[in-house]
Amino acid sequence: MSEFIYLASQSPRRSQLLQQLNVRHELLLPNAAADVVEDAEAIEAVLPHEAPHSYVQRVTGLKLDAAAARLARRGLPLAPVLTSDTTVALGQEILGKPADAAQAQAMLRKLSGQTHEVLTAVALQSGGQRLQALSISKVRFMAMSDAQIDAYVASGEPFGKAGAYGIQGLAAAMIEHIEGSYSGIMGLPVFETAQLLRQLGWKI
């Protein structure tokens, strides 16, 4: 069994959560200078009428395909590869990463006073074996004023985050209730990830 895994994610939060499990890992990220340009935006595009749970699992699988190809292309030592993707859904509407401040404000106005779902899929590949898990949590925001939303957007925290917020940051002061996995809402459900690793023989 390998002594480490590859994490195909740029998220520092996912790396921190793996550290919490004492899982040694190395990052396996796209290289802008590589001969193959990977189109992350195409991978994350939503298909027409796609349900949030289908979307997040499909995107995670595509990310794993890309990471496995990256590993083979670079001729790196073999080890399991882990990918994850998080999406925020209000009903059947998928709220991705905001492109600008106006989009972040619009997303947060939709979430204000409402309960939404945070879906995080995890996929792990070791040789020909592929394992997947899905974590679904519910988050309720308090009713936020325009001034509160504007101040939060001005902090810069919403950018690069699905649904335009990060639970581990300033947004925590506006979240009334969560039901499910806190680490899943952060971006990597620790319980489900540990279960997948145990299936590969890791002692966690």
CA distance 166 to 157: 7
If we measure between CA atoms, which residue out of 154, 162, 47, 51 comes closest to residue 97? 162
CA distance 75 to 68: 11
Tens of pLDDT along 90-114?
Answer: 999 999 999 999 999 999 999 999 9
Residue 162 lies in a domain: yes
**Among the options 35, 39, 65, 85, which is catalytic?**
85
- In this structure, of 22-36, 46-60, 102-116, 187-201, the range with the lowest mean pLDDT score is 22-36
Q: Structurally, how many domains does the chain consist of?
A: 1
User: What is the token pair recorded at 136?
Assistant: 């679904």
Tens of pLDDT along 129-146?
Answer: 999 999 999 999 999 999
Its domain, for residue 163, covers 5-199
pLDDT of residue 42: 79
Average pLDDT score, the chain: 94
User: What is the token pair recorded at 71?
Assistant: 């590993």
Catalytic residue at 85? yes
Q: Which residue has the higher pLDDT, 131 or 39?
A: 131
Whichever domain contains 136, its CATH number is 3.90.950.10
Residue 204 lies in a domain: no
If we measure between CA atoms, which residue out of 87, 111, 91, 115 comes closest to residue 185? 87
Residue 45 lies in a domain: yes
* Predicted TM-score (pTM) of this structure: 0.93
